[in-house]
């Protein structure tokens, strides 16, 4: 049995109650219902719907045979979060109101994922220069790419390929005015082996045959491209230095006014099944210069600020599943269930999950999330508990800057001076 104390919290309510006066008979709307909105491994979110005839009533919510709360109704639709549940377990909830038949529903929590990963460490570069990998993307169990700057024999390479066994490096050069130029690559985003993007101070696209290059004017882009995200190569975003955001529609690029001059360090997007709309968040931070930070939600070519109350100004990575969980990491691991929740972000205190600065977060689902950071710190959340692999992935002279996840394959990249460092984890 799960001995975690039961905690019940009301997240938000909608629709102020109105009650039509009827001096002859009872109010006409005495409807009520109880539905399950979402579950995780240890939580369930339910909606209590009551008609206006139940204004000022108190509802009793029971889980199995235990009364978990008596809730003073404050709206026609109230969302309730119930925590401290056991993974992979079915609970029966019952809502009771005075003078009404009880409503029941069942909620089955998610199962946890396995912490059993085997890690292999790789070193890229021969020490002839300061090598580092900044970003990584996984296509399959036997194909992944990473970008950065890797020195071998005094020559710098900026593109690395993993074939499931070994890493190989090559140069991607940018043609400009008849010359080929080399620059470190900072970002990569992949749709398929023949449809991938990389970024330095200009974006480049591989179409399966050749690299397509773009020479964006300063009015559209001016700075380094730190991250790339898109739903397709006809709906692509780049973010980076000086608060820069730009969008590519498959034909042309458009500058997006971000409302900040702080450099954007990450962007992530995903489809919201409730609205069937793509939700995109980008985060900016001036750390370590200052603790200024900004979170924005991007819709098309417009942005809107997102409240970051509770988070430190030192943030580096974002990942989320819309309306289920949102993670922003940096000087702490912060999370929310919903952006509509007006309460502050919940942040794990230092030492609870990790004492190290976190740089990147990515996952398969809300019960399978990885966080990496300083000194080779690497953490996994399986939906109920966190596990550290730092004893296997420790970097004495560096850190991981990015992590990617695809099914049972995890790849973290960074540096362990003077070489680039890679940790590859396989789930058993």
The DSSP element (H or E) to which 72 belongs, if any, is strand 66-72
Question: In terms of DSSP bridges, do strands 358-365 and 203-206 run parallel, antiparallel, or are they unpaired?
Answer: unpaired
Query: How is domain 117-427 classified at the architecture level of CATH?
Result: 7 Propeller (2.130)
Q: What is the CA radius of gyration of the chain?
A: 25
Helices and strands of the chain, counted as H and E runs: 1, 38
Tell me, yes or no, if the two domains 7-108 and 117-427 fold the same way. no
pLDDT tens sequence for the chain (428 residues)? 444 444 444 443 433 333 444 444 454 567 778 999 999 999 999 988 877 766 667 888 899 989 988 887 766 788 888 999 999 999 999 988 876 668 899 999 999 999 999 999 999 999 999 999 999 999 999 999 999 999 999 999 999 999 999 999 999 999 887 889 999 999 999 999 999 999 999 999 999 999 999 999 999 998 999 999 999 999 999 999 999 999 999 999 999 999 999 999 999 999 988 888 999 999 999 988 788 999 999 999 999 999 999 999 899 999 999 999 999 999 999 999 999 888 999 999 888 999 999 999 999 999 999 999 999 999 999 999 999 999 999 999 999 999 999 999 999 999 999 999 999 999 98
Contact 92, 63 (CB under 8 A): yes
Distance (Å) of CA 376 to CA 187, 367, 369, 373, 416: 20, 22, 16, 6, 9
Spell out the domain ranges in the chain: 7-108, 117-427
d(CA 383, CA 211) in angstroms, rounded, equals 40
CA angle 22, 24, 26 (to 5 degrees): 65
For 7-108, which CATH class? mainly beta
The SS3 assignment for 216 reads coil
**20 preceded by a cis bond (ω within 30 of 0):** no
Short-list 30, 15, 32, 45, CA closest to 104: 32
- What is the pTM assigned to this prediction? 0.91
Which residue in the block uniquely carries the two structure tokens 């966190």? 386
Contacts of 276 (CB under 8 A, 6+ apart): none
């Amino acid at each position: 049995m799960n001995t975690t104390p039961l905690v019940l919290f009301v997240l938000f309510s909608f629709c102020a109650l109105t009650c039509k006066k009827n001096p002859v008979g009872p109010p006409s709307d005495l409807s009520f219902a109880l539905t399950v909105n979402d579950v995780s491994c240890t939580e369930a979110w339910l909606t209590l719907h009551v008609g206006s005839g139940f204004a000022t009533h108190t509802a009793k919510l029971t889980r199995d045979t235990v009364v978990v709360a008596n809730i003073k109704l404050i709206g026609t639709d109230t969302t309730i979060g119930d925590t401290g549940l056991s993974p992979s377990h079915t609970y029966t909830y019952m809502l009771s109101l005075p003078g009404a038949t009880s409503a029941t529903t069942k909620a089955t929590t998610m199962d946890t994922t396995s912490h059993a990963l085997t890690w292999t460490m790789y070193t890229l570069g021969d020490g002839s220069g300061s090598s580092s990998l900044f970003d990584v993307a996984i296509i399959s169990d036997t194909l992944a790419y990473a970008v950065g700057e890797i020195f071998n024999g005094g020559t710098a390479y900026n593109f690395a390929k993993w074939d499931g066994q070994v890493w190989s490096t090559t140069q991607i050069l940018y043609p400009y005015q008849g010359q080929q130029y080399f620059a470190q690559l900072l970002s990569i985003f992949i749709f398929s082996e023949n449809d991938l993007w990389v970024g330095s101070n200009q974006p480049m696209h591989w179409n399966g045959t050749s690299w397509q290059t773009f020479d964006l004017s300063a009015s559209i882009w001016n700075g380094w491209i730190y991250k790339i995200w898109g739903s397709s190569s006809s709906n692509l975003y780049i973010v980076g230095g000086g608060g820069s955001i730009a969008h590519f529609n498959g034909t042309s690029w458009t500058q997006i006014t971000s409302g900040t001059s702080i450099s954007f360090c990450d962007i992530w997007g995903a489809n919201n099944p409730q609205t069937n709309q793509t939700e995109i968040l980008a985060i900016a931070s001036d750390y370590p210069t200052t603790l200024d930070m900004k979170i924005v939600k991007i819709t098309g070519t417009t942005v809107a600020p997102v409240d970051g109350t509770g988070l430190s100004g030192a943030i580096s990575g974002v990942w989320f599943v819309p309306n289920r969980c949102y993670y922003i990491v940096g000087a702490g691991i912060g999370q929310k269930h919903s952006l509509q929740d007006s309460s502050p972000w919940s942040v794990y205190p230092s030492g609870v999950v990790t004492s190290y600065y976190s740089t990147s977060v990515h996952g398969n689902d809300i019960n399978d999330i990885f966080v990496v950071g300083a000194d080779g710190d690497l953490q996994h959340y399986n939906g109920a508990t966190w596990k550290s692999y730092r004893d296997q992935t420790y970097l004495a002279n560096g850190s991981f800057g990015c992590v990617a996840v695809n099914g049972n394959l995890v790849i973290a990249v960074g540096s362990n001076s003077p070489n680039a460092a890679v940790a590859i984890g396989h789930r058993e």
